[in-house]
Structure 1
Amino acid sequence: FKLQDRHGRDYCLGPTHEELVTTLVSMDTSSYKQLPVSVYQIQNKYRDEKRPRFGLMRSREFIMKDGYTFDMDQEGLDKQYKLMYDAYYRIFTRCGLNFRPVIADSGAIGGNASHEFEVLADSGEADIVYCKDCDFAANIEAVEPNTLKCDIHNDKEKELVATPGQHTIQMVCDYLHAPVEQSVKAVVYKLDDTVVLAMVRGDHEVNEVKLQNLYSAINVDMASEEDLQRCGLTAGYISPIGLKKVENFDIVCDTSVMEMQDACCGGNQKDMHYIHVNPARDFGDVKVATIRQIDAHDVCPHCGGQIVITKGIEVGQVFKLGTKYSEALGATYLDNNGKSHPMVMGCYGIGVTRTVAASIEQNHDDDGIIWPVAIAPYEVVIVPANNKSEEVMGAARSLYESMEEKADEVVLDDRNERAGIKFKDADLIGYPVRVTIGKKWQQSGNVEIRLRRTGETIEVPLEECKAKVMELLENLHKNNQ
């Protein structure tokens, strides 16, 4: 968020606080004897999201837990990183979430290693890839897919042919009776001040994060019509063949493209395409890198096994920052020989607000929320089914007071409402355990205990209710439900 004070001076709200924390720690830490240092905060964050959506999932204000570690060397960072990784794993397990830690791209924060904790949900914004045959899992942006070899061999020279009105990959391939995987797709980006022509196979997509990292770019946008004209590119018919060198214009081809033979690609003029193209022979001096995105037809890059691509909600991330911030901000320490070194940093974050939202995404039904007991606002609701009966209300209050050691986790619903409304509200709010005291108790001395997650009901005498509820809660906690 950018804003101005009353004097018109520009300010911004920091999306993260690596710089400030690094400065604060460096002011109080000068010797190796003071390391390692670990600090954290739980604080409101503000980010100027272009498209706030999904309720609490992506909003402009949210609560986040930030953690930062400072060590003498890489070995110390590796140790701290594993401690934080393991702690996050335990936290999300205890929260009852179905999640996966995945290899991630470090993004703008920087660093040389990172993992995200992704809650599996169809409504997630992240695409994650995992292998059925090994423990490989990664954000799709961070996956390095295998280079695909081509079984076709072609010695024919490239040929320029007319393709009137055919301006999409599928249209061109249908017109030329060629499979899509034998075509070359051109996508033109503006990476900071450089126009980049990215070439991938027709059945593949460009991995924009890998492209951004390849050029160490801050801004990634699609090239404008003006950019295309300046570089001599004709939209819908673009390829590297015959292009002139232009300042701030670069061409990069995916490694799988350079393996192709007998391919078709744009002819760099309207309604024209090349056929019988061998990119390694015909594309000239181009940059070659893995810039394609892995897809469901690929195999695991680690073991060759079957991969699954699914959606995830990022609820936490850990980073090995190294010395990026400490070198820039002068956060140094003296070793036992009096020699100065930059501190080696890690940073770690949990989206508290998003964790709650992600839990609801995974734990709900048509009637409302089904809270995992560890993060439920309250664990138990006691519902007197007949407010007009002093006997029923007295029994409900007595049970509520007997559970005083869990006073912060138990609610007595003594509203003057019908029992049906109370039951509906209990399901909507998602109390893990509901205790009902009503006619059955008046007739037989039994109360009804209902588990929200399974719908299971248990009848026990009122005097045994507290012990049974405690037993059920203990099991829910033990099983992270």
Structure 2
Amino acid sequence: MKDLYTFDTTEHWARVTYTEVQAAYRAFFDELGIPYLVAEADSGAMGGNLSHEYHFESQQGEDKIMCCDSCDYIANEEVARRRPGAVASIESLAALRVWLGVSKDRKTFVAAWFPGTDGGGSASKDEVNLHALKAAEPTLDTAVEDPSRLWREFTKPGKIIHLLDPRLRLPQGNSSLLETANWASGLVKSLRASLTSNSTRTTPLEVSSIRTGDACPMCNEGSLLVRQVVEVGHTFHLGHRYKNEANANTDCEMGCHGIGVSRLVGAVAGIMADDKGLNWPPGIAPFEVVVVHGKENAEDAEKLYDGIIGSAHTPALDAVLDDRDRNIAYKLKDADQIGYPVIVVLGKTWAGKKKKAEIQCRRLGVIELVGEDEVAERVAECLRRLKSSVSS
């Protein structure tokens, strides 16, 4: 993790610093040329009331974020909201669903109730917002795979907590779900028969997880898209944390920021790799360009390499010459697997008077023959296109 800690004397300047760090992080991710998303986030144990996460979209990612298809609302699953839907009376709701949970000490039982879209009954973990449930009941053990088994085993738990989705409305004058017999499904009746309702309480919160198609909370036209991502960076404004250097009464405003370097490298490798091998963006590639040649072109390749790294007409490029005593096919396969952004090949087209080098850029789909004097310029152009290809 590449960490950065900031200290300011006032909240105003701390927020200015926060904005500057955000700009620096965006510039860094822009340079990679890989689409990324910046989402509102929960500060969690870090504290403070302002934080953002930086994500790459990836099917291998373990996190989810919610994006509006109409406005710029983006939030992670811990803080994401949807526009409230119509309130449904549970007296007439046929698709009432419930998720059953249990505390770590197995003395508190949790029933989370919400309206279903595909029938009533018992709900699975992916149907509920575990972050909201955990916030409402911190002792909840979300790692238990089958909490309902524990419900069946204990006939007299110490406490039952009911967490009620705000889209449900309790019958007038009745605050206990277990005591409402006229609408109770078979599942609810079973719970009522096996559990006591002593010490129950009802807490309203958004119980069910957000799904693609839910209404955006920030605009009237948009719908939310749920996207699978991997987090590669985070910025936090923590607020008051330390006294100033003179130990005066004025608190310093602290910020904490970080980029997960090892996670970022793994994420980029997974996103960019194809059936030929890795495919690094120029910003983190081991070299921007590799010069590959056959044995008969070794001397010319060295001259061309010297021109690429020190051309008078283009910026100096970060290049490497593959001068190993191997055939050109072996070197080309290696170059693809390593994932150099641009490959310069001195092969058959360089023989005799032709003197044509082959420029390859897999990501841009470029395979072209150019003259010796054009090589440095064409390589530099490919790299410019790669670096400007981001669309966040």
TM-score by length of 1: 0.66
Give the match for residue 243 of structure 2.
Answer: 332
Q: Distance in 2 between matches of 1:424 and 1:252?
A: 58
* Contact 2:89/2:169, CA 8 A, preserved across alignment: no
Q: Is the 8 A contact 1:189 1:196 kept in 2?
A: yes
Against the structure 1 CA distance between its residues 196 and 73, is the aligned structure 2 distance closer, same or farther, given a 3 Å change threshold? farther
For the residues of structure 2 that align with 1:318 and 1:351, how far apart are their CA atoms?
12
How has the CA–CA distance of structure 1 residues 102 and 263 changed in structure 2, closer, same or farther, with 3 Å as cutoff? farther
The counterpart of 2:187, out of the listed 262, 266, 286, is 266
Gap regions ≥5 residues in structure 1: 1-63, 156-177, 234-245, 274-282
Q: CA RMSD in A?
A: 3.3
2:8 aligned residue (71, 76, 80): 71
Letter in 1 for 2:207: I
SS in 1 for 2:185: strand
Q: How many residues of Structure 1 are paired with residues of Structure 2 in the alignment? A: 360
Does the C-alpha gap of structure 1 residues 96 and 352 become closer, same or farther in structure 2, counting only changes over 3 Å? Answer: same
The answer as to whether partners of 2:161 and 2:201 remain within 8 angstroms in 1 is: no
Equivalent-residue separation in structure 1 for 2:100 and 2:84 (angstroms)? 19
Higher relative contact order, structure no. (Cα contacts within 8 Å, ≥ 6 residues apart)? 2
Alignment of 1:167-178 (within 5 A): none
2:367 is aligned with 1:457: yes
Task: Flag the 1:199–1:473 CA change in 2: closer, same or farther, 3 A.
Answer: closer
CA contact (8 A) 1:190 1:221 kept: no
Mapped partners of 2:165, 2:90: distance in 1 = 19
State the SS of the aligned residue for 1:361: helix
**Deviation of the 1:371 alpha carbon:** 1.6
The aligned counterpart of 1:322 is 239
The residue type paired with residue 301 of structure 1 is: P
User: Counterpart in 1 of 2:174?
Assistant: none
CA distance in 1, matches of 2:41, 2:308: 45
- After superposition, the Cα gap between the structure-2 partners of 1:334 and 1:317, relative to the gap in structure 1 and judged at 3 Å, is closer
Which residue of structure 1 aligns with residue 67 of structure 2?
A: 130
Give, as a single letter, the amino acid of the residue that structure 2 aligns with 1:333. Answer: N
Q: Runs of 5+ in structure 2 lacking a partner?
A: 117-122, 172-181
Matched to 2:301, the amino acid is A
Give 1:206 shift: 2.4
Distance 1:65 1:194, change over 3 A: farther
The answer to whether the aligner puts 1:99 opposite 2:36 as a matched pair is yes
Q: Indicate if the aligned counterparts of 2:364 and 2:386 stay in contact, CA closer than 8 A.
A: no
Partner residue in 2 for 1:166? none
Residue 255 in 1 paired to residue 166 in 2? yes
Residues 59-84 of structure 1: CA deviation (Å, up to 9, x unaligned): xxxxx111111222322222121111
AA partner of residue 310 (structure 1): R
**Amino acid paired to 2:226:** I
Cα distance between partner residues in 2 of 1:377 and 1:80: 32
Q: Give the letter aligned to residue 393 of structure 1.
A: A
Offset from partner CA, 1:188-230 (integer Å, 9 cap, x none): 1316786241322253732121222234559754459667755
Residues in 1 aligned to 2:238 and 2:170: alpha-carbon distance in whole angstroms = 36
* Counterpart in the other structure of 2:215: 299
**Alignment pair present for 1:477 and 2:387:** yes
Q: How does 1:49-448 map to 2 (within 5 A)?
A: 64-150=1-87, 154=91, 179=94, 182-190=95-103, 195-201=108-114, 203=116, 205-215=127-137, 220-222=142-144, 232=156, 246=158, 249-258=160-169, 262=183, 264=185, 266-267=187-188, 269=190, 285-304=201-220, 305-323=222-240, 326=241, 331-333=242-244, 340-385=249-294, 387=295, 389=296, 392-405=297-310, 409-443=318-352, 444-448=354-358
C-alpha distance in 1, partners of 2:186/2:23? Answer: 49
Tell me how far apart the structure 1 counterparts of residues 264 and 99 of structure 2 sit (CA, whole Å): 39
Tell me if the contact between 1:200 and 1:256 (Cα under 8 Å) persists in the aligned partners.
no
Query: Secondary structure at the residue paired with 2:301?
Result: helix
Alignment partner, residue 280 of structure 1: none
Distance 2:140 2:98 in 1: 24
